[in-house]
């Protein structure tokens, strides 16, 4: 895998999901708001973390800027969003300009493995670290980018067992993943602040299998099919209790 392959994947996702959107939209998993208690993961973040208006926030894997705008509006602080996708960054800038919030948010096409040291009070990475080419290099870069006493919050999928290796391989191939994140990749520096797995919305096995079959048939003619199928393989991993969706936290001294 390479950054170019990951960039292509996110560009394809954007062209499928967002090319006709008029405003930023969330790209992370949708949780069951009735049991989770929040409409969106960003709403939970604003309740879980107190951040003052002088803080500098990095949204690592910002998509088209939905979360960056949300955090900037809530905390009235400056937020920098980065994405490896040039299409996402271009659109995020346009959305921010249309919302008259360009004074608080900025966007850049950039890898999270090459960040400015000692620059951010709070770094948030939602479902983006999974596409690292080297998890230890990525974590080192993210931690180094924090100011003293800064916080790094990663929300992502963690593999907890390897009972179905062929399913893991299918998921990794469709989503261009070089590594599958595990708890051991983060400890002892990190702590799991919250397990979000109980709030996931997953389809039943019948729907999953039918949709996987359809996407496999469509793969030769539908560019986005493998990426969509990879998402269904991930749902299967959750249903087989092989994955957890977790909030992982690091606090710099």
**Based on the number of CB atoms within 10 Å of its own CB, is 147 exposed (0-12), middle (13-18) or buried (19 or more)?**
middle
Q: Residue 19: which pLDDT band, with cuts at 50, 70 and 90?
A: confident
- Distances from the Cα of 145 to the Cαs of 57, 192, 253, in angstroms? 11, 21, 13
Other Cβ atoms closer than 10 A to 230 = 21
pLDDT of 1 above 80: no
pLDDT digits (tens, 9 = 90+) for 20-73: 898 999 989 999 999 999 999 999 999 999 999 999 999 999 999 999 999 999
pLDDT at 2: 79
Q: Which residues of 237-247 are buried (b: 16+ CB within 10 A; e: fewer)?
A: bbeeebbbbbb
pLDDT digits (tens, 9 = 90+) for 94-105: 999 999 999 999
| Percent of residues, the chain, with pLDDT higher than 90 | 91
Strand partners, 22: none
In this structure, are residues 44 and 20 in contact, taking their beta carbons and an 8 Å threshold? no
What is the 8-class DSSP label of residue 28? S
Range in 1-10, 21-30, 184-193, 205-214 the model is least confident about? 1-10
Tokens at 214, concatenated: 């359809």
| Percent of residues, the chain, with pLDDT higher than 70 | 100
Asked, as a colleague might, if the bond just before 188 is cis with ω within 30 of 0, I would say yes
Phi, psi at residue 4, to the nearest 5°?
-65, -40
Phi, psi at residue 213, to the nearest 5°?
-60, -45
Instruction: State the average pLDDT over residues 226-241.
Output: 97
Going by their DSSP bridges, the two strands 243-251 and 146-159 should be labelled as antiparallel
Q: Residue 210: which pLDDT band, with cuts at 50, 70 and 90?
A: very high
Per-domain residue ranges for the chain? 3-158+178-199+243-251
pLDDT at 38: 95
Distance of CA 226 to the CA centre of its chain: 19
Q: Residue 76: which pLDDT band, with cuts at 50, 70 and 90?
A: very high
Instruction: Please tell me the pTM assigned to this model.
Output: 0.95
Strand extents, DSSP E, the chain: 56-60, 78-83, 105-109, 120-126, 146-159, 191-195, 243-251
Phi, psi at residue 160, to the nearest 5°?
-115, -15
The CATH class of 3-158+178-199+243-251 is alpha beta
pLDDT at 20: 84
């Amino acid at each position: 895998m390479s950054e170019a392959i990951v960039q292509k994947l996110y560009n394809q996702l954007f062209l499928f999901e967002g090319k006709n959107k008029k405003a930023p939209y969330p790209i992370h998993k949708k949780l069951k708001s009735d049991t989770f208690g929040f409409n969106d993961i960003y709403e939970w973040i604003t309740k879980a973390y107190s951040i003052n208006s002088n803080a500098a926030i990095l949204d690592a894997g910002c998509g088209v800027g939905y979360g960056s705008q949300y955090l900037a509006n809530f905390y009235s602080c400056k937020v920098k969003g980065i994405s490896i996708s040039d299409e996402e960054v271009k659109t995020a800038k346009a959305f921010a300009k249309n919302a008259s919030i360009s004074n608080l948010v900025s966007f850049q096409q950039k890898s999270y493995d090459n960040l400015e040291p000692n620059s951010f009070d709070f770094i948030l990475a939602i479902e983006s670290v999974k596409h690292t080419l080297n998890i230890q290099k990525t974590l080192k870069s993210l931690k180094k980018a924090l100011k003293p006493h800064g916080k790094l919050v990663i929300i992502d999928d963690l593999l907890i067992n390897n009972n179905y290796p062929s399913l893991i391989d299918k998921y990794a191939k469709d989503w261009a993943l070089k590594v599958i994140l595990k708890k051991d990749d983060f400890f002892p520096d990190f702590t799991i602040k919250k397990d979000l797995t109980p709030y996931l919305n997953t389809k039943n096995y019948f729907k999953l299998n039918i949709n996987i079959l359809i996407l496999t048939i469509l793969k030769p003619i539908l560019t986005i099919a493998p990426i969509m199928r990879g998402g269904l393989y991930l749902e299967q991993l959750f249903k087989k209790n092989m994955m957890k969706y977790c909030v992982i936290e690091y606090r710099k001294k």
